[in-house]
Amino acid sequence: MAFEQPPAPFPPEVRSEFGLDRGMVFLNHGSFGSVPRSVRAAQDGWRDRLESDPIELIGRRIGELLAEVKRDLATMFGGAAESYGFVTNATEGVNAVLRSLPLAQGDELVCTSHVYFAVKQAMRSRCLESGAVLREVSVPLPVRGARDLIDPVMAAIGPNTRLVLLDHVSSATATRFPVEDLRARLPAHCLLLVDGAHAPGAMDLRIDAIDAEFYTANLHKWVMAPRGSAFLRVRGDWMPRVHPCVISHFFGDGYEKEFDWQGTRDFSAWLAVPAALKFLRELGLQRVIEHNHWLASWAHRQLVEGLGIEPATPLDGSCLTCMASIRLPETLRRFGRVEHLQADLRARERIEVPVMEWDGGWWLRISAAVHNLPEHYEVLLRALQARVAG
Amino acid sequence: MAFEQPPAPFPPEVRSEFGLDRGMVFLNHGSFGSVPRSVRAAQDGWRDRLESDPIELIGRRIGELLAEVKRDLATMFGGAAESYGFVTNATEGVNAVLRSLPLAQGDELVCTSHVYFAVKQAMRSRCLESGAVLREVSVPLPVRGARDLIDPVMAAIGPNTRLVLLDHVSSATATRFPVEDLRARLPAHCLLLVDGAHAPGAMDLRIDAIDAEFYTANLHKWVMAPRGSAFLRVRGDWMPRVHPCVISHFFGDGYEKEFDWQGTRDFSAWLAVPAALKFLRELGLQRVIEHNHWLASWAHRQLVEGLGIEPATPLDGSCLTCMASIRLPETLRRFGRVEHLQADLRARERIEVPVMEWDGGWWLRISAAVHNLPEHYEVLLRALQARVAG
């Protein structure tokens, strides 16, 4: 696809499913998602049921209720239903894996320079307590293709590398990493933890085919489930050795029971996940993925050409999903801090879009969701052009 | 108070604030609470706001929004607002403290035989990874008074005791432990972690006066906040050393920032806590505490006298808050398992009440909340009498 034309938008009745302030140009679905009204209604329904009969549903039936949700997840993303454990967010999934891993002085944990900062902090913390070493591998942009993203990682792996953590889609740089290729090339002594925070609903995802020991992901971004719904999927051989961050009643009783019960919580977010999967299926998962990818790739091209900058990833969209990041022209650094530019775009143009520092530059990330329209990115381009011109 | 007469119930309009199935005799507010409609409406309002402008409210303003909630908590329960960190439940609070504590081979963690099982599991897990030893001190029932609950703990403390974990109100046995007395008698080398899961809203609670290093509690039980709202309060000298279970962006930036941001979640539960405190204040916190205590103590006495059993705690209610546990007559063990008796009471009498094994006996725990009426316990007593008679 050339991405010279924007894709046809979803109809207004789909876009009006979202409670976003209509006065805003909302280009940051990627941070905290946006929940369709039908999904929220399903969650409300669960809250009514839980409220009406809490002991029966939370105390006695929660395992079977969550098992149903996990079957739905496994149908969509592959693997055994019982290998899915619910967490609040992908950062929690990463923490659970890191804590469950026996680490000793001299062990190495590897990540790339694209790693999500919260995850890097969790790795740092785990290294501080265990004596392991965190090795952050520089993967500079621009890249010509997926292979450029993996070669530096492979070059950094040594005999002491215990675990490689790879972002499936990176946060600041919105780049899709070829995790399957890394898995195929990884030596047997290296465990693979994929941070798929931005992956489900954003690509054709079959987690079992990736064959990582650990895969964690958010459902509140591109699956559009309620915030606080995320999962950790652990490969069968590792399931008995992985525990949730909160040790509770069922410690030692196995992965399923331990993750199902991490203390009292509002289970309605997890229970509403099937409603989000249904929303996606009714729109057509493939259609959503293609629309968002096409829109992100088209907008990426518009911004790159309109600003006359070098793209960080190929213009054919091969390293993108439904987000794209551009390195902003240096002149915009006169705003002093990324937050100031971001605040200016919000205050004066009603555009909500993240601007982040990465690898010495300022990066702007766009998201393309089913509620976005081509003109949203045209508004952004004009706003950036005006600011570049001064 | 003699507790020979039940207290005047709250009016119907208060009781109809709760979404509980009206066909049930609901005597287990203590497990997962029940959320008044006004509190849920406040939470829904927050969810609308978060949905409308997620980046502004979650990404940029969440710290100030939570600070407001913490000020409200500190006003009600004492201490500095910034010493409160939000967690999902008290078990998570306990996990955070245990993980943050440097423990070495030979260190001892002390709890009582009344410890909540999930918390004991967290202690066991932490001992397994650190080489510390868990010492569970038997505190048998019946007791004549509060002092009997503390003397065995004091007798178990030795030079290697690093931390004492005490339930403020125990779960299975519904007994109020005099944590202030323990604190006063505890040697300087022992840290105190109070599991106040059932305490806020159930007693006149001033956490700063207890002066424990660590105090964790649920707000979704007796404060009637949405499920998933709980806190960990850490004494100032320990705040820089305590981290949440999920290490995220602000690792190393201090207690407040670390606890405020544990990854994306549905913040509406925490943000609705002031609505629950308002509901309590409007009913009159002291009136609620007294009503519930009176009702629990009265019902306790009815059950003990009606079944002709020995009370586990004094009939004057001095070891109770708004729950009471009775040791069931041995004849009821013909049901085979506690779950079977519980299921029978639910199926045939529409009574929801927990039955638990503890210290070789079967225990039944009643809760007394603002939605409960004296006749609820009369229904229970008749049901138990019928089953004891066979």
Going along chain B from its start, the domains and CATH numbers come out as 12-17+284-389 (3.90.1150.170), 39-279 (3.40.640.10)
d(CA B207, CA B211): 7
Does residue B215 contact residue B221 with C-beta atoms inside 8 Å? no
CB contact under 8 A, A264 and B32: yes
Rounded average pLDDT over B125-152: 97
Question: Which of A26, A51, A366 has the most B C-beta neighbours within 10 Å, making it the best mutation to test the interface with B?
Answer: A51
* Distance, CA of B166 to CA of B196 (rounded, Å): 8
> What pLDDT, on a 0 to 100 scale, did the predictor assign at position B4?
81
Q: Nearest chain A Cα to B93, which residue? A: A246
| pLDDT given at position A1 | 54
Instruction: Check whether A2 has a pLDDT greater than 80.
Output: no
Report d(CA B96, CA B209) in Å as an integer. 22
CA distances from A56 to B198, B254, B347 (A): 20, 40, 12
Comparing CA positions, the residue from A61, A86, A54, A272 lying closest to residue B220 is A54
Q: Which of B44, B52, B246 sits opposite A245 (nearest CB)?
A: B246
Residues 6+ apart with CB under 8 A from B314: B143, B144, B145
Q: Which residue of B has its CA nearest to A122?
A: B247
- Report the pLDDT value the prediction gives residue A390, as an integer from 0 to 100: 86
> What average pLDDT does the segment B336-349 reach?
98
What average pLDDT does chain A have?
97
Q: C-alpha distances in angstroms, B117 versus A178, A247, A249, B95, B216? A: 44, 11, 6, 13, 16
pLDDT in the model for residue B1: 54
State mean pLDDT over B139-143. 98
pLDDT at B188 over 70: yes
Percent of chain B with pLDDT over 70: 99
Q: Respond yes or no on whether the N-terminal peptide bond of residue A9 is cis (omega within 30° of 0).
A: no
Mean pLDDT across A81-91: 98
Residue of chain B with shortest Cα separation from A33: B54
Q: Report the C-alpha dihedral over residues A123, A129, A132, A135, rounded to 10 degrees.
A: 30
Check CB contact under 8 Å for B125 and A247: yes
pLDDT over 90 (residue A119): yes
- A55 and B122: CB-CB below 8 Å? no
Which chain B residues contact residue A125 at CB under 8 A?
Answer: 243, 247, 251
DSSP A327: E
Mean pLDDT across B23-41 = 98
Residue B2 has pLDDT above 70, yes or no: no
Place of tokens 């299921």: B343
Question: What's the whole-number mean pLDDT along residues A23-27?
Answer: 97
Q: How far is B226 from chain A (nearest CA, A)?
A: 8
> Is the pLDDT confidence value at B175 over 70?
yes
pLDDT score recorded for residue A262 = 98
Asked if B32's CB is within 8 angstroms of A247's CB, the reply is no
Residue B347 has a pLDDT of 98
Measure in Å the smallest separation between the Cα of B108 and chain A Cα atoms: 19
Number of inter-chain CB pairs under 8 A, A vs B: 178
Q: Residue B390: pLDDT above 90? A: no
- How much is the average pLDDT of B44-51? 98
CB nearest A51 (choices: B19, B53, B118):
B19
Q: Determine the average pLDDT of the residues in B298-326.
A: 98
- ipTM rounded to 2 decimals: 0.97
Report the alpha-carbon distance of residue B176 to residue B198 in Å, rounded: 10
Residues A233/A199, Cβ–Cβ less than 8 Å: no
- Mean pLDDT value across residues B185-191: 97
What pLDDT is recorded for position B3?
75
